[in-house]
């Protein structure tokens, strides 16, 4: 059985502040590995190792750092199947999706490696003679990276890769439910020859080591992805210390279907947005807003499509969705399923899984007939539960879409160019997409949300380079 371990200053350490068995969410009888938890001393050691490594790493040329990132990409690609397999076993994401996620990680490493030789400033004409005035981006120092379990490979890499290419060193605290995958990922990186201390992996519970990480060690920045409640707490701690922070948080993403939408193409995208990864994506479609003129034909087509998707163990290559990730996820999501069964009309339902009692399987459902203020319409469920609302026209649909504390992603399905443009202008979300599902934003584009979904900076693409650097304005006079 595999075990989680810390990697600090180039040394593997098995922490002993707690131990538990990791269960396969697709089959609770199967033990996948052992989780070992850190105490505060590991966080302190990790900061010391990262601080020491910063000196040499930040002084490498961008081209030299790029060479390291290309090696990490090649190493990860060569271990793609192994990493994907372990992640599917640990947190239940279907293997086909998980392979795609690892490949996204490889592509992110290559994308950010290439930044090592790109311009990192601009020349600004001076008003004075013989003065060269320009900007340059400099690294921040030691960055704390805190990640969730739902994208156990892609999210850590979309933070670590830009942090490293910009010259920072990293302390990475993954979610407990993705710690075996995190250990595997760092094993792959360590074998690829990444210098000691450049990345330091500390496995542990946020409630046990979060305070020391965020309040006691001298961190220079924090990048967090996770729930809005933890994210806003972290933002407050960072603001108090005046260190740079970025929090990517929850969503309640809407897909609007107008009466001119092409149903044959629209329905599969809605189903995929809502139920791939068992709805455990921050960008999952959790509200479907349908224009009255197409309501009957849309709900009929949706009902048929949902009834045909396959709920199966994560390692089944035909699984459309697998179980939810853990016992706590199962409990939370089932409380919303119960609420839907008691208070809503279930207008679409997926098939049951044969081994239902063996894993954390939840039949996907679409609930309708609810008020716009109902918890199923307003709260993030983070499971295979979507809610459907009816709107009389585009204006009402946009108003419903924007009636949310979240603002991560939103979609519109239409063939009308005017509505498409108005939607891009009027929808209050960081990612607005026409005739595309709410999930699936490409890695070379900025990723992030409005309102309580984000602290308003962006990840991925070129935007990440702004977060992981500080801008210096330079001026030099020559006599």
Residues tagged active-site: 248, 282
* Minimal distance, residue 227 CB to ligand NAD, in Å: 3
Neighbours of 74 (CB within 10 A): 14
Please identify, using beta-carbon distances, which residue of 168 and 246 lies nearer to ligand NAD.
Answer: 246
Please identify, using beta-carbon distances, which residue of 22 and 282 lies nearer to ligand NAD.
Answer: 282
Neighbours of 326 (CB within 10 A): 20
* Minimal distance, residue 461 CB to ligand NAD, in Å: 13
Please identify, using beta-carbon distances, which residue of 230 and 302 lies nearer to ligand NAD.
Answer: 230
* Minimal distance, residue 445 CB to ligand NAD, in Å: 13
Please identify, using beta-carbon distances, which residue of 205 and 422 lies nearer to ligand NAD.
Answer: 205
* Minimal distance, residue 154 CB to ligand NAD, in Å: 9
Please identify, using beta-carbon distances, which residue of 107 and 455 lies nearer to ligand NAD.
Answer: 455
Please identify, using beta-carbon distances, which residue of 160 and 305 lies nearer to ligand NAD.
Answer: 160
Give the torsion sign (CA, 90, 91, 95, 96): negative
* Minimal distance, residue 152 CB to ligand NAD, in Å: 10
Neighbours of 202 (CB within 10 A): 27
- Cα angle, residue 142 at apex, residues 137 and 146 outer, rounded to 5°: 110
- CA distances to 52, 263, 299, 350, 410 from 302, rounded to whole Å, are 56, 9, 5, 11, 19
Distance between CA 311 and CA 323 in Å, rounded?
8
* Minimal distance, residue 382 CB to ligand NAD, in Å: 5
Give the torsion sign (CA, 413, 415, 416, 417): positive
Q: Contact 244/221 with Cβ under 8 angstroms?
A: yes
Please identify, using beta-carbon distances, which residue of 19 and 296 lies nearer to ligand NAD.
Answer: 19
For residue 379, how far is the Cα from the chain centroid? 18
Token pair of 442 as six digits = 């490409």
Distance between CA 16 and CA 36 in Å, rounded?
6
What does residue 365 show for φ and ψ, rounded to 5 degrees?
-140, 155
Q: Contact 52/8 with Cβ under 8 angstroms?
A: no
* Minimal distance, residue 462 CB to ligand NAD, in Å: 17
Q: By CB under 6 A, name the binding residues for ligand NAD.
A: 146-151, 173-175, 205-207, 210, 214, 225-227, 230, 248-251, 282, 380, 382, 408, 449, 453
Distance between CA 265 and CA 269 in Å, rounded?
7
Token pair of 453 as six digits = 């979904």
Beta strands in 11-147 (DSSP E): 11-13, 19-24, 27-36, 131-139, 142-146
């Amino acid at each position: 059985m595999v075990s989680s371990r810390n990697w600090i200053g180039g040394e593997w350490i098995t922490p002993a502040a707690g131990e538990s068995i990791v269960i396969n969410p697709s089959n609770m009888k199967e033990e996948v590995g052992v989780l070992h938890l850190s105490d505060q001393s590991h966080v302190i050691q990790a900061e010391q190792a990262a601080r020491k490594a910063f000196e040499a790493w930040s002084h490498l040329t961008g081209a030299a750092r790029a060479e390291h990132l290309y090696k990490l990409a090649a190493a990860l690609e060569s271990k793609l199947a192994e990493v994907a397999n372990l992640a599917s076993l640990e947190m239940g994401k279907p293997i086909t999706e998980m392979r795609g996620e690892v490949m996204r990680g490889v592509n992110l490493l290559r994308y950010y490696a290439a930044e090592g030789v790109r311009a990192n400033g601009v020349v600004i004409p001076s008003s004075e003679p013989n003065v060269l005035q320009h900007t340059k981006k400099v690294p921040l120092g030691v960055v704390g990276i805190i990640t969730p379990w739902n994208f156990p490979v892609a999210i850590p890499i979309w933070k670590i890769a830009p942090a490293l290419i910009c010259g920072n060193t990293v302390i990475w605290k993954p979610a407990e439910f993705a710690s075996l995958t995190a250990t595997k990922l760092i094993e792959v990186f360590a074998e690829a020859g990444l210098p000691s201390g450049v990345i330091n992996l500390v496995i542990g519970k946020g409630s046990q080591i979060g305070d020391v990480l965020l309040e006691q060690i001298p961190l220079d920045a924090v990048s967090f992805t996770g729930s809005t409640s933890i994210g806003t707490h972290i933002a407050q701690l960072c603001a108090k210390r005046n260190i740079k922070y970025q929090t990517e948080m929850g969503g309640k993403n809407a897909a609007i279907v107008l009466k001119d939408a092409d149903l044959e193409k629209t329905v599969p995208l809605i189903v995929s947005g809502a139920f791939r990864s068992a709805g455990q994506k921050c960008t999952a479609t959790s509200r479907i807003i349908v224009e009255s003129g197409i309501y009957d034909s849309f709900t009929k087509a949706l009902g048929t499509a949902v009834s045909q998707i396959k709920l199966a163990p994560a390692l089944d290559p035909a699984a459309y969705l697998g179980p939810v990730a853990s016992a706590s996820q199962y409990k939370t999501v089932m409380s919303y399923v119960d609420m839907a069964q008691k208070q809503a009309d279930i207008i679409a339902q997926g098939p049951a899984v044969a081994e239902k009692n063996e894993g954390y399987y939840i039949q996907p459902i679409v609930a309708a007939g609810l008020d716009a203020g109902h918890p199923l319409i307003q709260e993030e469920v983070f499971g295979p539960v979507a809610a459907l609302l009816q709107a009389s026209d585009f204006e009402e649909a946009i108003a419903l879409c924007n009636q949310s504390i979240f603002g991560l992603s939103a979609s519109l399905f239409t063939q009308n160019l005017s509505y498409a443009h108005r939607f891009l202008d009027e929808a209050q979300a960081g990612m607005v997409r026409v005739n595309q599902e709410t999930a699936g934003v490409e890695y070379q584009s900025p990723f992030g949300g409005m309102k309580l979904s984000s602290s308003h900076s962006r990840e991925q693409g070129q935007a990440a380079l702004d977060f992981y650097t500080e801008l210096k304005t330079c001026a030099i006079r020559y006599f």
